[in-house]
Amino acid sequence: MSKTTTTTTRAMLFDMDGTLLDSTPAVLATWEYFAKEYDLDLHQVLRTSHGVRTVDNMRKWCGIEDPIQLRDATETFESMIVTEAKQLQAAGKEGLIALPNVLPLLNKLNSSPIPAWAIVTSATTVYASAALPTAGIPETPKLITGDDVRNGKPDPEPYLAGAKALDVDVKDCIVVEDAPSGIKSGVASGARVLAVCTSHTREQLEGMGATWIVTDLSRVTFEIEGGQVKLTIDETP
């Protein structure tokens, strides 16, 4: 039995990795390299690192505290993801790809006469600027990266910054997220949250405060009506 909801909002705030694009193979290959370099438990890292700023992961998992070393490690990690992705794509495999229904949804939002969406990512500006076009993601009206905030997800600061960049009350925004840290960030900001089960199971995302949980964005449609975004959301498992 389907469970379909219709709602409206002024703006959409999207996470990037795992929500708009899939970087899993490239990220996994990069973490495998860093796990060997820093003698890390790869499975433990992968369980909690997704959706967290690279600089915070480098500090937590690799024990790097020196600001210059931290900056260099962050740049190395994220450049390796893009390099790995391009190598995978050159070999005919999936590197950085847009997730289901993402491109039609974003193109619909770009038809709005006023800016209706932003990307709010834990990634650095350098990585996001390389990853988005590689995956074919259309240009966003506003891009908030981990470089733009003092406190990363799960702190609410990133999504508050996204709403502010669009000049919209965060309570009139819907956050779209796949990771527990991002869902917590969106909920804490005061926005409604649409969670997608692209990197975690439905059971793992339940109980975190998301307003809706869907399999992926193929279960969502957008219409632009009078400066508002009208969403139809199918929560059927």
Residue 27 CB coordination number (10 Å): 22
Residue pair 212/202 in contact (Cβ under 8 Å)? The answer is no
What CA–CA distances, in Å, run from 90 to 4, 18, 93, 127, 188?
A: 40, 21, 7, 19, 41
Backbone angles phi, psi at 95, to 5 degrees: -110, -85
Question: Of 17, 22, 56, 178, which residue is the catalytic one?
Answer: 17
What are residue 120's DSSP bridge partners? 144
DSSP letter string, 18-78? TTTEE-HHHHHHHHHHHHHHHT--HHHHHHH-TTS-HHHHHHHHH---SHHHHHHHHHHHH
Q: Which two tokens stand for residue 49?
A: 């690192």
15 is catalytic: yes
41 is catalytic: no
Residue pair 137/21 in contact (Cβ under 8 Å)? The answer is yes
Backbone angles phi, psi at 121, to 5 degrees: -120, 150
Question: Of 15, 22, 56, 178, which residue is the catalytic one?
Answer: 15
Catalytic residues: 15, 17
